[in-house]
């Protein structure tokens, strides 16, 4: 306990105060009483403690804060009202006050009555009487509620800051001049810029000129207090163009704009791919339906050309014309077949495949485009390469992607009017190497490692999906091969595909077609069922020329009537007819007339149709595709083959 003499805070001050001022009525003003009244009226607690750290005086607010009655608070040890964890801190601060250093600090006190702890802000200074230090005087302000509110706000801000920083979408704010004020981590990832590079930067230079007016219009709407959504392109720091979706609102009208930005580049490309896939599916269905209609007249043209060429007394000049008709009909037929195989989805099936032929079929698909673009096609084939087990349809898709990309690359190169596409094959070790080389601008070195990535494309929006090369990579890997790109020394790009040579497995099993036996002689009685007159007439003339008796009909129902009335050695049936399809006719025969069912030979112009192929495989009957070679029927008619 300090031995310092306890002095009343009023001692000495009363006389000084009395001579210091007078009341308006002329009498002396009691300044000490005035000060006491002022202190008593303060909302903040005022507590005077002596050198022994006991309360000398306190106003009403101070007594209530400490949990005492005003008459009881004097003489209480102030340490008892300080939170135990804060006592050392408060004692240290008060020692500094007694040393003549006023202090401002925060601490926690304990209410004597309720034992509730409260946060207070303390402003403490030395207390002197007649120049003698007698203790300290402190003002205490209860900051419990403001501090709790501040803590709650800080936690909320931290939570939302974490939420904003961990968001996968970019969240940014811009001032009224369109400059970034805050950005989150996702904004750095999407833009390629660091936070300090973005803050203070105007957004306009990051947008292409075509999209800038639209973006500025939406920015003005946002400043006016509107909310909205729009899509635009923007340039990353590395120059890559991306598509973003921007949702905006206005926290402070005319002052600030908040934007939620999502990179939708991959999503847009996927949508385009889905649209493209739907288009391809629609094309497949369309081509499948049209193929039969195209192949029927082509079959008639080809068949009559063959009949003309079979005439021994045909003049040479007319023979040349007939050969041209026949050749062009075959060419048109191959184009239709290539369209069918490319447009229709099918199950992967590896069979012995001649890659040079696959390349020729692919080039024929693009032949017209290559010619009109003035692209010279150079074929440098190694004719010694063997067949390998592969899916010709899938590889055709790979080669078509590479050739189409080469066309477009050469078309983009300015200042050169003569372009050349070189397709090269050669044998290397145990693999077949295919090269597709163009005379375009080549591939930038910084992109050559990325071109096989899904959705990566250097083409303008709407001109490519970025999936062609990634799909090609998958197909080549399925064939246990490799594909890569390089720049040609002669300028241009070169894509290289290496496929292993895989020999077919020999199972010793071969499909056999049951021979058709003539009734009584080598002359066969044949019924031709086809709704195309040109096909019926040409087959009738050819088979009659081979010594057979031939009847024809355009109706499946009429064919059933004829088959019920007479016996035929062979029934040539078209798969698609108006009244009764070839499949329906066969099923009726198999149920009611199995003998004739075993003598059916099918013809069709759409062998790519999966449902039709499954049916034909299930019957085990021969099928001659349209347009046909007459020799195909010779192979299906054993008696005719014996007469040849």
Tell me what pLDDT residue 229 has.
95
Helix (H, G, I), strand (E, B) or coil at 118: strand
Residues of the chain with CATH 3.30.565.10: 351-501
CATH class of 167-263: alpha beta
Q: Is the pLDDT of residue 519 over 60?
A: no
Report the pLDDT value the prediction gives residue 457, as an integer from 0 to 100: 66
- Residue 47 in tokens: 């507590």
Report how far residue 310's alpha carbon sits from residue 542's, in angstroms, rounded to the nearest whole number.
10
Q: Is the pLDDT of residue 458 over 80?
A: no
**Neighbouring residues of 317: CB distance < 8 A, sequence distance ≥ 6:** none
Q: Is the pLDDT of residue 3 over 60?
A: no
Could you tell me the fold of the domain covering 351-501? Heat Shock Protein 90 (3.30.565)
User: How far is the C-alpha of 348 from the C-alpha of 243, rounded, in Å?
Assistant: 35
Are 429 and 397 contacting, i.e. CB atoms less than 8 angstroms apart?
no
Q: What is the pLDDT of residue 516?
A: 39
Handedness of CA 277, 278, 283, 286 (dihedral sign): positive
Comparing CA positions, the residue from 483, 476, 453, 477 lying closest to residue 465 is: 453
- 3 state DSSP class of 214: helix
Question: Omega before 182 cis (within 30°)?
Answer: no
Query: 245 or 473: which carries more pLDDT confidence?
Result: 245
Q: Can you tell me the mean pLDDT for 587-597?
A: 92
Helix (H) or strand (E) holding 432: strand 431-437
pLDDT digits (tens, 9 = 90+) for 345-366: 555 578 899 999 999 988 988 8
- Kindly provide the residue ranges of all beta strands, DSSP E only, lying in 490-617, ordered along the sequence: 493-500, 525-529, 549-553, 570-574, 600-604
> Do β-strands 419-428 and 375-380 pair in parallel, antiparallel, or remain unpaired?
parallel
Q: Spelled out in words, what is the top-level CATH class assigned to the domain 13-144?
A: alpha beta
* Helix, coil or strand: residue 64: helix
pLDDT of 456 reads: 62
> Is pLDDT at 214 greater than 80 in this prediction?
yes
- The confidence score (pLDDT) of residue 104 equals 96
Distances from the Cα of 232 to the Cα of 59, 180, 246, 462, angstroms: 67, 18, 8, 14
* 525-643 fold: Rossmann fold (3.40.50)
Nearest to 638 by CA among 546, 576, 554: 546
For the residues 178-200, what does the mean pLDDT come to? 94
Q: How many CA atoms lie within 13 A of 103 on its CB side?
A: 24
Q: CB-based contacts of 513: which residues, under 8 Å, 6+ apart?
A: 620, 621, 622, 636
- Region(s) of the chain under CATH 3.40.50.2300: 525-643
Task: Check pLDDT > 70 for residue 501.
Answer: yes
pLDDT at 477 exceeding the cut of 90: no
CA distance 475 to 483: 10
Query: What digits encode the pLDDT tens for the residues 288-315?
Result: 677 767 888 888 898 888 888 888 887 8
Confidence band (pLDDT; 50, 70, 90) for 341? low
The Cα–Cα gap between 355 and 399 comes to: 10
pTM more than 0.95: no
Phi-psi group of 507: left, alpha or beta (phi > 0 → left; psi -120 to 50 → alpha; rest → beta):
alpha
pLDDT at 158 over 80: yes
Q: What is the pLDDT of residues 267-277, one digit of tens each?
A: 887 787 677 66
| Mean pLDDT lowest among 3-12, 68-77, 98-107, 521-530 | 3-12
> Which has more pLDDT, 20 or 556?
556
| 637's tokens | 């008619």
For residue 364, the model assigns a pLDDT of 87
What residue ranges of the chain are covered by domains with CATH 3.30.450.20? 13-144, 167-263
Contact 241, 235 (CB under 8 A): yes
């Amino acid at each position: 306990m300090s031995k310092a003499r306890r002095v009343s805070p009023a001692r000495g001050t009363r006389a000084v105060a009395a001579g210091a001022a007078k009341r308006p009525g002329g009498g002396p003003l009691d300044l000490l009483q005035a000060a006491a009244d002022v202190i008593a009226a303060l909302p903040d607690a005022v507590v005077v403690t002596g050198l022994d750290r006991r309360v000398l005086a306190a106003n009403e607010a101070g007594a209530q804060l400490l949990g005492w009655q005003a008459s009881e608070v004097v003489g209480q040890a102030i340490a008892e009202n300080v939170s135990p964890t804060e006592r050392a801190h408060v004692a240290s601060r008060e020692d500094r006050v007694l040393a003549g250093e006023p202090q401002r600090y925060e601490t926690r006190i304990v209410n004597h009555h309720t034992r509730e702890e409260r946060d207070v802000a303390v402003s403490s200074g030395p207390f002197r009487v007649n120049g003698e230090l007698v203790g300290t005087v402190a003002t205490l302000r209860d900051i419990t509620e403001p501090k709790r509110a501040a803590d709650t706000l800080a936690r909320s801000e931290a939570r939302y800051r974490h939420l904003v920083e961990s968001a996968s979408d970019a969240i940014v704010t811009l001032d009224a001049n369109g400059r970034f004020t805050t950005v989150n981590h996702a904004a750095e990832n999407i833009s390629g810029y660091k936070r300090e590079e973005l803050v203070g930067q105007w957004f306009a230079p990051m947008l292409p000129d075509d999209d800038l007016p639209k973006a500025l219009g939406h920015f003005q709407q946002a400043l006016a207090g509107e909310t909205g959504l729009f899509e635009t392109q923007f340039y990353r720091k590395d120059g890559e163009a991306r598509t973003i979706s921007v949702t905006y609102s206005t926290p402070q009208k005319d002052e600030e704009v908040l934007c939620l930005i999502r990179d939708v580049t991959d999503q847009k490309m996927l949508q385009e791919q889905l649209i493209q896939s739907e288009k391809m599916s629609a094309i497949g269905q369309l081509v499948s339906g049209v193929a039969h209609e195209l192949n029927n007249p082509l079959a008639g043209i080809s068949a009559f050309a063959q009949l003309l060429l079979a005439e021994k007394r045909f003049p040479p000049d007319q023979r040349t014309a007939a050969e041209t008709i026949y050749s062009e009909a075959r060419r048109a037929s191959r184009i239709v077949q290539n369209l069918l195989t490319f447009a229709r989805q099918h199950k992967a099936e590896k069979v012995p495949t001649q890659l040079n032929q696959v390349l020729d079929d692919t080039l024929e698909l693009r032949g017209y485009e290559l010619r009109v673009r003035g692209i010279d096609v150079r074929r440098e084939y190694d004719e010694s390469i063997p067949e390998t087990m592969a899916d010709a349809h899938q590889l055709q898709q790979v080669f078509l992607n590479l050739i189409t990309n080469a066309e477009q690359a050469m078309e983009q190169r300015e200042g050169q009017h003569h372009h050349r596409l070189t397709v090269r094959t050669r044998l290397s070790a145990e693999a077949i190497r295919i090269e597709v080389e163009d005379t375009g601008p080549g591939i930038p070195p910084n992109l050559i490692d990325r071109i096989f990535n899904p959705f990566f494309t250097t083409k303008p929006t709407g001109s490519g999906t970025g999936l062609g090369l990634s799909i090609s990579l998958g197909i080549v890997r399925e064939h246990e091969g490799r594909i890569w790109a390089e720049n040609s020394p002669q300028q241009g790009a070169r894509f290289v595909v290496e496929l292993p040579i895989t020999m077919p497995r020999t199972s010793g099993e071969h499909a056999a077609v049951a021979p058709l036996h003539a009734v009584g002689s080598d002359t066969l009685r044949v019924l031709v069922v086809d709704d195309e007159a040109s096909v019926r007439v040409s087959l009738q003339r050819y088979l009659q020329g081979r010594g057979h008796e031939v009847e024809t009909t355009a109706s499946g129902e009429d064919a059933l009537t004829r088959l019920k009335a007479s016996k035929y050695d062979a029934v040539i049936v078209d798969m698609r007819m108006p009244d009764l399809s070839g499949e329906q006719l066969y099923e009726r025969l198999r149920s009611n007339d199995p003998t004739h069912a075993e003598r059916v030979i099918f013809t069709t112009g759409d062998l790519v149709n999966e449902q039709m192929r499954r049916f034909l495989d299930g019957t085990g009957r021969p099928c001659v595709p349209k347009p046909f070679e007459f020799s195909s029927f010779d192979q299906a008619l054993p008696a005719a083959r014996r007469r040849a």
